Amino acid sequence: MRRFLTLVSLLLVAFPAGMTITGCYRNPAGNYCNGLGFGPKVTDLYSITLQPQNTGVSMAFGQTRQITPGTGATCKGGTASVTNPTYGSTNLQLVDISPTGNLCAGTWNRNTGGGIPDFTICNYPNPLPSSSGLPYGTAYISESSQSVTSNPVQVFVHAPVTSISLVGPTQCVSQTQVAQLDAEACYAGANNAQYEFCAPPSVTKFACKNGLAPGVSAVPSCNGSIGTLTYNAQNGSVATINPETNQITAVAPGTTVINASISQSGSSAGYFSTCPPQSIQISLNGKTAGTVTQGVTQNLSTTVLDTNNHVITGLTLDYQSTNPQDLTVSSSGAVTASFPGSASVYAICQPSECNPAPINLFGANGTGLSIASNPVDLTVPGTASAYVWYGAPGKSQYFVPVQLLSGTVGSTVRLPYVPNSMVMDQTGTTLYFGSEHELMVYSTASNSLTSQSTGTPGVVLAVSPNNSTILVNDQVRQLFYLISGTGTTAPSSFGGLGTAAQFTPDGKTLYVTDSATAGPGHTNTLYVFNANTGWTTYPLTTSGGTIGPENLAITVPGVGAYVSGNPTVAHTWCPTGTVGDYNSMTFYPQGDSVNADTDVLAATTDGQHILGAALTAGGISFSDIGVTIPSTACPTAVNSVLQPLLLTHTLNQTTLAVNATSVNQVVTSPATVSTGTAGAAYSLSFVTYNGTTAGATLPYYQQTTGNTTSLGTVGYLTLAGGTSITAPVAGAFSPDNTLFFVSTAGDNKVHYISTTTLQDTQQISPNLPVCNPSTDQGCTAPAGSTGTVPATVITVKPRATT
């Protein structure tokens, strides 16, 4: 023992100062939430969160709802299991809850007998709740497990809601601005009377038909009585809603329906409008006129102000070019020049891509309507050559191509059937020929047949500028076919007959006119197809004249169309009718009436003139209608009634001293440009016609560029060939406006007219063989015809000079 004590003493003396003894250490208190070694452990269930803890639950009498099990947490914030939960309610007569967490807005059946399981029938509360005379009440539910109880969740129990009306901004809200949504609701009382259930304090005129229930002097807010409503914007591109706060944010111009729901039922509660454009201003390098070089892309600058004078960004605009073969504008505003020439470009905001509105809310706060920008006039320097195609639908089963650069007249191309129409798309890639048998489609690159559509026989009336849609009129079945693609996609159809049609430059709207003078089944009717509103029709009952409303011309910009006849009338894109009443809407009402008789019409590219011509006893009556578009935006509604866009005009008329039997065309120059290098001081137009008098001349008309109230200059061009020429029957300008190609009857030639000297500089013979009406179905040539016929259709596309 003495030795042991000596050893211990030596060890104590030898241990260095400041050193401690370490080894295995246990701290049982660290396993507990309070760190003191007692109470809940850090792995135990510490709290239960039951949802929805902020908004509560809304239930109509007798409804059931399975609650979402609560989530458990430890005292350290970790996840903990909630095992064997039990549920409780502060008022089982109002809100009953089954052992599995299934809520009943009333009381569950228990011990019913007859083999009916418990908790399968939810009975109405007994007695029914009443708060200040209104049928609602509240209770709280909770979930418990392992001696831990969740937060309480408020349950709103009420009579069924029969309708919900939005209470929010009635005026439009500018982009990015925020507004608060609220609502008022109705319930059914005795005899199905509709009484006000709840509403914001700001509401003084109740939406419910019978107002306040007997004995009720005021109603609470909906959040405090029936619970929090859920809102949804039907069109998320117009507005978005924060589900936590029910605040709505304006995103882009337009109107959207707002749906509201509560207690498992919903309805359309109202609408919300983001302010529409008031003006669109575009420019190139800060100017509204300029020069664009071939192959160099330049971007337009666009500034859009809404009706509150706030700047709008991110709009989807359509850009229109008056000469898309030479100059195009992309959807982003990038200008590309392919060939020399000139064009005016516009930006258009139109539904449904821009400023949309549901069909029954057209015009709400100015939404659902279209608006155009100012023009930007662009010139592409240089001179281009051209490809030209000649045909004579109804008279020849052939067409012939010509390369202007080489001067070579190509070989005639025989079609499968005699065509009744010939149209080239504005991109210059495809030729479409209609016939009684089928639609025939040819490539301009190879002059070869690319497709035949036997399911769409008829007359090709129009092709959209981007070659995406073809309009064929089956005059036997009396159907319009709208064909997507290049004649290969199954068409949509609409009943009717037409004599002429044009697309707006953006391809979004198609105007079709028909005249009763065209034959059996034809009527004086204007048809309009729009991508947003579909097909609509408008009677042209006042249209008279020699041949009635057989022709039309689109305004520049494309806010409407003038239709020939007497009077000559315009229909424009601003609808009329009561906002919110679809049945009262006229989508393309009359916007102008001109006391002029016209058989054919054309618009000058400066947008200032509609030129018309009609056959009269003393020659051809020529009308220069000076057009003023007072605003590129639709007029403001008056007492919720939409107003049409009314165009104003001046009228100057003269008589063309020619011997004609009918008028074929007024052909306006593609751009107010001279030799493809500079803007000209005037626009040039020619009039073509049928006749039988030898030595026929070609009338032309020069009009000062811009808005003028005076008559321009009329002249007559003598064509090479002299007395052999009986009429200039068809014509077309080269895209760079250096030449006018005119086909003449008598000599059956095509004459090249210089637009600068107004001289006949060259003649070619297309040599289109005449068809035989006895053997060629669809041939309208006189019986016994032989030899060749003059071209009655001329189509042109530009090409490089190298």
pLDDT digits (tens, 9 = 90+) for 654-678: 999 999 999 999 999 886 544 333 4
User: 645: which residues sit within 8 A by CB, 6+ positions away?
Assistant: 559, 560, 572, 573, 574, 591, 629, 630, 631, 634, 635
**pLDDT attached to residue 9:** 53
In this structure, is the dihedral angle defined by the CA atoms of residues 295, 301, 307 and 310, taken in order, positive or negative?
A: positive
Average pLDDT over residues 515-544: 92
**pLDDT attached to residue 738:** 87
DSSP string spanning 354-405?
Answer: SS---GGGTTGGGTT--EE---EEEEE-S--EEEEEEE-TTT-SEEEEEETT
| Range 161-274 has CATH code 2.60.40 | yes
Query: Given a cut of 50, is residue 213 above it in pLDDT?
Result: yes
Average pLDDT over residues 36-46: 89
**pLDDT attached to residue 264:** 76
**pLDDT attached to residue 225:** 95
Contact 111, 118 (CB under 8 A): yes
- Phi, psi dihedrals of residue 163, rounded to the nearest 5°: -160, 155
CB neighbours of residue 800 within 10 Å: 12
Residue with the two structure tokens 């109405």:
124
**pLDDT attached to residue 322:** 85
Query: Given a cut of 70, is residue 28 above it in pLDDT?
Result: no
pLDDT, tens digit (0-9, with 9 covering 90-100), for 746-787: 999 999 999 999 999 999 999 999 999 999 999 999 888 899
* % of the chain surpassing 90 pLDDT: 75
**pLDDT attached to residue 26:** 53
Residue 227 amino acid letter = G
**Cα–Cα distance, 230 to 246 (Å, whole number):** 8
User: 75: which residues sit within 8 A by CB, 6+ positions away?
Assistant: 33, 40, 42, 44, 46, 47
**pLDDT attached to residue 114:** 85
Average pLDDT over residues 693-716: 88
**Cα–Cα distance, 651 to 623 (Å, whole number):** 7
**Mean pLDDT, rounded, of the chain:** 91
Q: DSSP letter at 703?
A: E
**Cα–Cα distance, 368 to 256 (Å, whole number):** 10
Q: Which CATH class name applies to 35-158?
A: mainly beta
C-alpha gyration radius of the chain:
39
User: 641: which residues sit within 8 A by CB, 6+ positions away?
Assistant: 576, 577, 578, 579
Torsion of CA 549, 551, 554, 560, to 10 degrees: 10
Average pLDDT over residues 591-598: 96
Element (H, E) at 12: helix 2-14
Q: Which CATH number fits domain 277-380: 3.50.50.60, 2.60.40.1080, 3.40.50.2020, 3.90.1420.10?
A: 2.60.40.1080
Lookup: tokens for 299? 């971007």
From-to residues of CATH 2.60.40.1080 in the chain: 35-158, 277-380
pLDDT, tens digit (0-9, with 9 covering 90-100), for 607-645: 889 999 999 987 999 999 999 998 778 999 999 999 999
623, β-bridge pairs = 612, 653
Give the CA distances from residue 600 to residues 524, 548, 698, in Å, rounded to whole numbers and listed in that order: 15, 10, 16
* % of the chain surpassing 70 pLDDT: 93
Lookup: tokens for 18? 């400041």
**Cα–Cα distance, 55 to 243 (Å, whole number):** 11
pLDDT, tens digit (0-9, with 9 covering 90-100), for 262-316: 987 777 889 999 999 999 999 999 999 899 988 889 999 999 999 999 999 999 9
Q: DSSP letter at 224?
A: H
**pLDDT attached to residue 488:** 61
**pLDDT attached to residue 800:** 72
Lookup: tokens for 514? 């028909």
**pLDDT attached to residue 545:** 74
> Which residue did the predictor score with more confidence, 789 or 405?
789
Average pLDDT over residues 349-378: 92
pLDDT, tens digit (0-9, with 9 covering 90-100), for 145-183: 999 999 999 999 999 999 999 988 889 999 999 999 999
pLDDT, tens digit (0-9, with 9 covering 90-100), for 431-476: 999 999 999 999 999 999 999 999 999 999 999 988 999 999 999 9
Query: Given a cut of 80, is residue 18 above it in pLDDT?
Result: no
> Which residue did the predictor score with more confidence, 1 or 210?
210
